[in-house]
Amino acid sequence: MFCFQCEQTSKGTGCTDFAVCGKDESTAVLQDLLVHAAKGIAQFSHRSRLLGATDPELDRFLLEALFITVTNVNFDPAAIENAIRRAIAMRGRAEALYHKATRTAGKSAAEIRGPATWSPARTLEGLISQGEAVSSLMRRERFGPDIAGLQELLLYGLKGMAAYAEHALVLGHEDDSTYSFIAEALYYLAEEIPSVEAMFALCLKCGEVNMRVMELLDTANTGAYGHPVPTPVRVEPLRGKAILVSGHDLKDLEKLLVQTEGQGINIYTHGEMLPAHGYPELKKFSHLAGNHGGAWQDQKDEFAKFPGAILMTTNCIQEPQTDYSQRIFTSGFVGWPGVTHISNGDFSPVIKSALAAPGFAEDGPDKTILVGFGHKAVLGVADKVVEAVKTGAIKHFFLVGGCDGARSGRDYYTDFAESVPKDCIILTLACGKYRFNKLDFGTIGGIPRLLDIGQCNDAYSDIQIAVALSKAFQCGVNDLPLSLVLSWYEQKAVAILLTLLHLGIRNIRLGPTLPAFVTPNVLKVLHEKFNLMPIKTAEQDLTAILQLTA
C-alpha cells in the first residue's frame, strides 16, 4: 500500500504498511481500486454528457465512491468490496448509455481503454492484488512527482467536494454542473496525457465547482433548519441517559432527535456536530442537551468515558476500543468491521443501547460556549462591525480554523489565538476550533471576539462575510485587514483550499505541515501565484502579519 492523502501520513511522506488513520493494507488498496473503478465509469459518462445523455444514478454513485475513500470514513474491506462490485455494474450501465447516445447522435463509439476495460478479480484477495497495481506510486513512476502530485491534489479535491455534495443530496439538493465536472475530472485522470498547466487549471476549476457545492449545501442546511443564530451550548453533562452524535450529517441528527423525543434520552453533539445547536429547527428539540468532548482525534478517550450510545455519521471514526465497541454505531457511508451499521434511518438499536447504558449520574457545572455565527448572523450586525473598524475599535480579523488532528505542532493554533491582540476578531470553523473555543476572548463593543462560523463546509459563510466586508470598504478581499491561518487534515480541507485559491485569496498560512503530495516545484508555483506559505511559530507569524498590515 501507499497512501499520503492526509496530513498525518507516516513520516510526512506516506503510509506503506499500516496507515496512521487506522486503515490496514487491504482497506487502503481496495479504496484505490474503487477510485480506479469510478474513473472507468467516468470514461463513459463524460462522453455521454458531451452527447447530451445523463443518468442520475451514475452521477450519485460517483459521489458515493469518492466519499467512501475520504480519510476516516470506511475501514470495512467487505463494504468497499461491495462498492467495487456495484461500480462494475454501474460501469456497464454507463457503457450502455454511451453507446445509445452515439447511436442517437449518429456517431461512432470511441475505442476506450484503461479503467473502463478493467476486469475485477472474483475474490477479495484478487481485488487486493489488483488494487496494488493502481496506487499513486504507479502514477508517480509514469508521470513524475510533479504531475502525479497535481493529480492527487485534484483527486483529493474531488473527494472533499463529493462529501459536501452528498450532504446536500441527502437534504434534496443537487446540481448537474457538479456531476458534470466530477465526470470530466475523473475522465481526465483516467485518459488524458497530463501536463502541469492543464492539471493546475483543473485543480482551480475544482475549487470553483466546490464553491458552488458549498453554496448548495448552505442552501440545503439553512432551507431545512433555518439560518444559524448565536446560541450558548452547554459543554457539561445533564443527569440522565445519553446518546453522542459525531460526524457532519445534520439529517441523521434530526432523525435521531425525532425518534428519541419523549424517551428521556439527552442528545449530545461531538466534533463537527457542535454547530448543529445554532440551527433553529434543531435547537427547538429540548433534549438536544449540549456538546461533549472535542475534536475527532480524542474520541478513544472521550467515547470510553461517555456513559451512553455513540453514533458516527459521515467521517471521523477511529478504531473503536473495547470499552465502547458494543455501544458505537455507524450510519451513512461510515464503516468499521464488526460495528453495527444503521442503513435505513431507524435508530432503534442506538436508542436501545442508550437506555441500557447507565447515563450520566449527575449534572455538571453550568458552562457554555457560543456557536451560530453563520454569514446571516454576522452580516446582520455588519454595520456595527464596519463602524468598529472605521473607529479603530477592531484592527484586524483572523480566520483561525480548519481540521484538527493528533500530530504534534497543532498547539500552534492555541498559542496563535491566545496571542491575537484584544482589538482583533477571531473567526473560526471546523474542528480546529476545539484548540481554543472554550477560552474566554471577551467582546469588542458587544461583538464577541471569537465567532464560531460552523462546520468546515461553512467556509462558504466566511467567504460571504469577507466579500461583504470588501464591498463595504470598497476594496478587494486581499486588501481587507483579514488573515487566514488554516489547519488541514483530510480531503475536504483540500477542496476548501482549492476554492480559496480559485478566488485568488493570497497570503494563506497552512499547517501544521504541508501536504506530502505537493512537491517543492508545485509549492513554488503556489507561493509565487498566491503567496501560500507554511506556518512558522505563532509569535513569528503574528508579528509578520501585524507588521505587514500596520
**For residue 480, which of 378, 376, 386 has the smallest C-alpha distance?**
386
pLDDT higher than 80, residue 16: yes
* CB half-sphere exposure, 479, CA atoms < 13 A: 8
**Rounded to the nearest 5°, which phi and psi values hold at 265?**
-115, 130
Neighbours of 39 (CB within 10 A): 27
Distance CA 275, CA 167 (A): 15
SS3 309: strand
Mean pLDDT of the chain: 96
| Domains, the chain, with CATH or none | 10-224 (1.20.1270.20), 231-356 (3.40.50.2030)
Distance CA 4, CA 155 (A): 12
SS3 486: strand
Residue 64 cell numbers, joined = 458515493
Per-residue pLDDT of 264-313, as tens digits, reads: 999 999 999 999 999 999 999 999 999 999 999 999 999 999 999 999 99
State the pTM of this model. 0.97
**For residue 272, which of 122, 163, 392, 383 has the smallest C-alpha distance?**
163
What is the arithmetic mean of pLDDT over 62-70? Answer: 98
**279 Cβ neighbours under 8 A, 6+ residues apart:** 221, 222, 225, 226, 228, 250
Per-residue pLDDT of 336-386, as tens digits, reads: 999 999 999 999 999 999 999 999 999 999 999 999 999 999 999 999 999
Residue 124 cell numbers, joined = 477479495
Please report which confidence band the pLDDT of residue 193 belongs to, taking 50, 70 and 90 as the band edges.
confident
Helix (H) or strand (E) holding 102: helix 77-105
**Rounded to the nearest 5°, which phi and psi values hold at 308?**
-155, -165
Distance CA 280, CA 237 (A): 21
Residue-level pLDDT at 550: 67
The strand ranges marked E within 270-395 are 288-291, 309-312, 328-331, 340-342, 368-371
Helix (H) or strand (E) holding 494: helix 491-502
Distance CA 3, CA 344 (A): 32
Contact 362, 239 (CB under 8 A): yes
Residue-level pLDDT at 18: 87
Q: How far is CA 527 from CA 505, 507, 530, 539, in A?
A: 12, 9, 5, 21
Contact 69, 163 (CB under 8 A): no
CB-based burial of residue 322 (10 Å sphere; 0-12 exposed, 13-18 middle, 19+ buried)?
exposed
Per cent of the chain over pLDDT 70 is: 100
What is the arithmetic mean of pLDDT over 198-219? Answer: 97
Contact 33, 84 (CB under 8 A): yes
